Amino acid sequence: MFPERIFIIGYMCSGKSSISRKLASRLGYNSFDTDDLFEEKYHVSVNDFFEKYGEDYFRKFEAEILRKTGDLRKVVISTGGGNPCYYDNMKWMKDNGMTVFIKVSPTTAYNRLVTAKRKRPLVNGKTSEELMRYIETHYGSRLPYYEQAELTVKGENFNIEKLLEILDA
């Protein structure tokens, strides 16, 4: 029996959204992304919201959006990289579904983020060197949250069959 609500967590650019979609399609579940739900609800991009209202408000609304997913069944929910680290969100996810941490190395995160930073307010505008240093400390500070997940899978060379096997075990 697969859990009826699966939360995919991990750092920016770890591949959460694409893994969530793949997993959902194999399970016959729907997939959602908390950033997309946020943008649909508030009619503003996460980037613009950060710029106008700041991170603290984003975290507050992000936590509310997450809790609304408690109404959904048979879903895979991809969460923004900071989601598990605020407002007891990690505990809430663990109480309301299965949590899967997609773990990539800081180097992988860097290599991916360096070309995808524009859409991400926390790293947008950083030089390559600043980005490298930021990831080293920032990712490290988030690991204690991510590592509370029930399951950890490697994001590099991700294999959906393997994940399905583990989930089915």
**Which residues, 47 to 66, sit near ligand S3P by CB under 6 A?**
none
We find the least distance from the C-beta atom of residue 17 to ligand S3P, in angstroms, to be 6
User: In terms of CB distance, is 91 or 165 closer to ligand S3P?
Assistant: 91
Considering the rule CB under 6 A, would residue 82 count as an interface residue with ligand S3P?
yes
Considering the rule CB under 6 A, would residue 12 count as an interface residue with ligand S3P?
yes
Distance CA 91, CA 169 (A): 23
Considering the rule CB under 6 A, would residue 77 count as an interface residue with ligand S3P?
no
Of 133, 30, 143, the residue nearest 81 (C-alpha): 143
Which DSSP symbol is given to 127? -
Kindly state the tokens that stand for 25: 């399609």
Of 12, 27, 22, the residue nearest 158 (C-alpha): 22
15, 97, 121, 155: which one binds ligand S3P (CB under 6 A): 121
**Which residues, 21 to 50, sit near ligand S3P by CB under 6 A?**
35, 46
Query: How far from 163 is each of 29, 40, 75, 137, CA to CA, in Å?
Result: 15, 30, 16, 29
Give me the amino acid identity at 158: F
- Which residue has its beta carbon closest to ligand S3P? 80
Strand ranges inside the chain, DSSP E = 5-9, 30-33, 75-78, 98-103, 151-154
15, 80, 97, 155: which one binds ligand S3P (CB under 6 A): 80
Considering the rule CB under 6 A, would residue 155 count as an interface residue with ligand S3P?
no
Considering the rule CB under 6 A, would residue 15 count as an interface residue with ligand S3P?
no
Interface residues toward ligand S3P, by CB under 6 A:
12, 35, 46, 80-82, 120-122
